[in-house]
């Protein structure tokens, strides 16, 4: 996928602030620190449009990135970060749920899982929740450069088994360091939209 234009087009915390366009939207969800911002940056070939850091829990709003004037990536706050106050987490939960359930332009959710670890309880809840609400889901196993290639299949199998992955859902190994999986991820996203 050739990227010609990217803008951080909108930042929203409530529906009145969602962009007033009909572009198809793909949301990015995952545990805090899973590599969501790095995934976005790699997909759009930018070093740091989406902010990355070693500091979990920094994305607190719905961030709409407009790509090639054709699609929005929507970065949502990561879940499972204990240091964020409970009241704030509850607010994020409501904001994300409302967006996922009510937004007509939303065509699917990319759910990022750290390829090194077993999916967490929250990863499983999120996956089941998306299936329950019939939202198409693409699974991305992040940071695969951190495990030896000989163990990739084993780690993929663990993710599949732990999540109870459905046959029809794609599970794609990805590295923001090397760009591995980028083309497959774009192809899959284009199919979903
Ligand atoms: N080696 C390696 N490190 C990665 C990769 N993706 C992300 N990281 C590192 O993991 C850390 C977290 O990455 P972010 O992209 O900021 O994670 P995030 O999910 O956006 O974090 P939140 O905003 O807290 O939700 C950073 O130190 C990244 O450099 C990857 O594919 N390979």
* Whole-number Å distance between alpha carbons of 170 and 156: 11
* Whole-number Å distance between alpha carbons of 110 and 169: 11
pLDDT value for 32: 85
Tens-digit pLDDT profile for residues 98-123: 999 999 999 999 999 999 999 999 89
Domain 6-192 carries which CATH code? 3.40.50.300
Distance 166 CA to ligand 1 centre (A): 26
pTM, two decimal places: 0.93
Tens-digit pLDDT profile for residues 131-161: 999 999 999 999 999 999 999 999 999 999 9
- Choosing from 27, 28, 33, 141 the residue with most ligand 1 atoms within 8 A of its CB, the one to mutate for a pocket test is 33
Q: What strand order describes the sheet that includes 62-67? A: 6-12, 62-67, 71-75, 25-30, 106-114, 137-142, 171-173
């Amino acid at each position: 996928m050739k990227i010609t234009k990217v803008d951080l087009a909108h930042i929203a915390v409530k529906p009145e602030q969602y962009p007033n366009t009909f572009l198809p939207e793909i949301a990015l969800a995952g545990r805090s620190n899973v590599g969501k911002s790095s995934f976005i940056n790699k997909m759009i070939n930018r070093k740091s449009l989406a902010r990355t850091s070693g500091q979990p829990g920094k994305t607190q709003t719905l961030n709409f990135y407009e790509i090639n004037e054709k699609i929005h990536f929507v970065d949502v706050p990561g879940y499972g970060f204990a240091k964020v106050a409970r009241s704030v987490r509850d607010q994020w939960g409501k904001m994300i749920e409302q967006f996922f359930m009510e937004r007509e332009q939303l065509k699917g959710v990319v759910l990022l899982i750290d390829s090194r670890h077993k999916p967490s309880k929250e990863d499983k809840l999120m996956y089941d929740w998306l299936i329950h609400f019939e939202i198409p889901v693409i699974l991305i196993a992040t940071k695969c450069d951190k495990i030896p290639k000989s163990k990739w299949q084993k780690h993929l199998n663990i993710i599949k088994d732990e999540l109870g992955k459905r046959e029809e859902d794609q599970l794609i190994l990805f590295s923001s360091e090397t760009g591995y999986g980028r083309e497959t991820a774009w192809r899959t996203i284009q199919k979903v939209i």
